[in-house]
Structure 1
């Protein structure tokens, strides 16, 4: 199922479904950004606002972007701060949703749905202030190799699988480097912190030179 259609259907139960990937990525974002200074944020893949609520506690302004209008509708119901601007957009097309330059760009469970990383990272680099950061939180490629994909059960009990693309860890690093983004930190997060198992979440922190 294509990404927009899937998340529009998923939106009604996204916050209430059992979802280890959603929950662990939310924790990973908070840990990864705990000591990173930022004032203005471009949040790509804001969804229902699960991370927006935390980011707005640290930022003066957030541009929160999502492909799904139904996910955005739920985020808007949840977050009423005038410091958050919600915008519906496809990041594989022209980035006309920007509001100047940002200190931080975040991607939460987004890039697995994007085939062409090069275009996205080029736009990211153009969106950042010098010294600005990029946070990437993704379903770990190891999970993808084992067959795990974004999927959900509809209200009728039918399982839907969202269109996904496999990216190796090095693909993210090389795409960033090509556009002047250097690696600051890379980490992995495991279910129940069991490091003998396959990691569920990959996080990458990049910085613009």
Structure 2
């Protein structure tokens, strides 16, 4: 048991030493690759992409792929386009992926035809994805019943409540002035006073007696 534990401890130590040495070698290679050609830069980016979990770093891989791609390295341009398409180490940007695929698809004597065809296929795929995403954004419409400030529309099925009215005002009877008063029949003013047409009985008898005595 003690021998097995000792062996496990030795293996762990060797692994740690190897990782440290690898990291130191990577830093040394990076210093050399800064001033070297695109081939070493591409291999360094490949090492960061497909290396061990301790060394794997997609951001560093994208950095070195960019360095090589800017110098016209076809494989680095393809890998950088893939990184932008799949969002590995960089933010997803289909336009950047399209640009790098178009650069990789340009064939010349120094370039491989198979890589050019591969880049063209990836370019068409990216264009389709970009167009479909753009069409979805344009196809979004506003919800019915909601417009801007000027064109506000009410929601369907809702009507305004009737406004509350105050107490009804009593209709007053028209008042007429003094002139418009109606007088009772048989009564006139001072000039046109008309008494009763039939004189009282006592007075008529006296007048008749006086006339007869004369």
TM range (shorter): under 0.3
Q: TM-score, normalised by structure 1?
A: 0.24
Q: TM-score, normalised by structure 2?
A: 0.24
Task: Give the structure, 1 or 2, with the largest relative contact order (CA under 8 Å, sep 6 or more).
Answer: 1
* Structure with bigger gyration radius: 2
Larger helix percent: 2
